[in-house]
Homo-oligomer: A and B are copies of this chain.
Amino acid sequence: MAQKNKLQFIILGLLDQQPLTGYDLTKAFDHEIGEFWQAQHSQIYPQLKRLEEQGYITHEITISGEKLEKKLYHTTPTGQAVLTTWITAGTPELTATKDEFILKLYFVRTNRDPRLPEMLLEQLQLHVDKSEHLQARLATVFPTKKSQAENFGHYLILQHAIGRENYYVTWLKQTLAALPK
């Protein structure tokens, strides 16, 4: 195996919260959990088929409008058990990250390279933008303490993503400041 198919568990987790279509799932990967996992619909539909064959999920067909068929998937008891097992099992392997930009810096070799300031400033802009965007989302989606507690998981994810971006921003500023003039 190339990487142990974690997508199946994530789909299972999403469907366990509420019945969803493949299209809904695709959107969830774009918005809600997109900061920590990505998947396209071309990966999702075949996976749904496999999960159903294994008996972890089932679907009901609903009709939208005249004749548009939507497949609403939800977990079965078996699927819920599999999900619980995945969550409860430890997560001992820290995800290996790949960061193209950091490697470019690595190859620059000297802190006097004239390209450094603009390279760092570009990343700074990108990460500041992302952080601000995420913070705006946090403010609109979770305006109250109550809303934070009610969607605990989503709140955690967003807040972690913001912190991660803020660390990157801090590091970039610090690196910029340490550059010789």
Contact = CB atoms under 8 A, between A and B. Distances in A.
A106 B31 CA distance: 14
Nearest to A93: B100
Nearest to A94: B126
A103 interface: yes
Contacts of A115: 87-88
A175 interface: yes
A97 B97 contact: yes
Interface string A81-94: 00100111011111
B110 A152 contact: yes
Contact of A109 (B98, B102, B153): B153
Nearest to A102: B36
Report how many copies the assembly holds: 2
B122 A91 contact: yes
B106 A157 contact: yes
Interface residues of A, number: 57
Contacts of A123: 91
A154 B163 CA distance: 25
A74 interface: no
Contacts of A62: none
B105 A156 contact: yes
User: Which 4 pairs of residues, A with B, have the shortest CB-CB distance?
Assistant: A106-B153, A13-B107, A167-B167, A91-B101
Interface of A: 6, 10, 13, 16-17, 33-38, 83, 86-88, 90-111, 115, 119, 122-123, 126-127, 130, 149, 152-154, 156-157, 160, 163-164, 167, 170-171, 175
Given A37-B98, A106-B157, 6 more contacts: A37-B103, A91-B101, A95-B101, A102-B157, A102-B160, A107-B153
